[in-house]
Structure 1
Amino acid sequence: MSRLHSTLILLLLLPPVVPLFCYTCVFPSISPLDCIKYPTKCPPGQLCLSSRAIGQRGEFQIVLYEKSCVLPSLCGITGEKFAMGLNFTFTNDCCETHLCNRASTPTAVLWAMPVLSLFLLSLT
């Protein structure tokens, strides 16, 4: 058998590359319950992300949740951002099976949206 035939047979025996599907939120949400998530096909080489950011200014605290696809280099990191007048500390957790970022952390406070609205109004 020629080398070309051997290579073709080997390629045919390899499993096809199946894209990873992850949940994505339409917008980052204040409650894990109001994340309008839908399955999306990730670009090759990306993983499923579940991110949680805690913003604080004095006694005021808010938690934001995000789900999406992300590059592996952004997985498992914790960092800080300043946005909306708050210092946010975020944590990125990743997984690599279909729709594995489904679970939500049920620690959201139900009154966070009205409080955030009042807080943002006070900044203007």
Structure 2
Amino acid sequence: MSRSELLMVLLGCLPLAAGLRCYTCVFPAISPLDCLKFPQECPAGQRCLSSSATGSRGSLHVTMYEKSCAVPSQCDVSGQKYASGLYFNYTNICCDTELCNAAAPPAGRRWGGLALCLLPAVTLLLA
């Protein structure tokens, strides 16, 4: 394999420039498992958000979970909001890598595609 072919293989491994994709819940959920997630491309300058909000009235305790795109001013903040007759204490956490606001990112999947893509180039260099 020539150097130009090797360069083409390496360039083919680079991701195409695109907007950040984040998971978004169809509806805010009362369980992390109830969040019906789907990937969504965020507008430029936005980050991926994971938010939880806990509210209570007497013996009633409710926690809501949300995932979405967010402007930076919504990120890494906590506070209180009023909704559905309850005051909720919320915490927003943001990240800025592809689909990083998943509940539990699968271990090892981020590098697997890159390793398989680079394998022919590494094999050629070692030969």
TM-score for the superposition, normalised by structure 1:
0.69
Residue 16 of structure 1: CA displacement? 6.9
Aligned equivalent of 1:96: 96
1:43-84 per-residue CA deviation (whole Å, 9 max, x = no partner) reads 000000000000111221100000000001110111111111
SS of equivalent to 2:100? coil
Aligned equivalent of 1:35: 35
Given residue 55 of structure 2, which amino acid in structure 1 is its aligned partner? G
Q: Percent identity?
A: 58
Aligned equivalent of 2:61: 61
**Structure 1 runs not aligned, ≥5 long:** 1-14, 105-124
Where do 1:1-124 residues align within 5 Å?
Answer: 17-103=17-103
Structure 1: distance between partners of 2:32 and 2:84? 20
Structure 1's consecutive aligned runs of 4 or more residues displaced over 4 angstroms after TM superposition are none
**Structure 2 runs not aligned, ≥5 long:** 1-14, 105-127
Structure 2: distance between partners of 1:16 and 1:40? 16
Given residue 97 of structure 2, which amino acid in structure 1 is its aligned partner? T
Number of aligned residue pairs: 90
1:5-24 per-residue CA deviation (whole Å, 9 max, x = no partner) reads xxxxxxxxxx9742100000
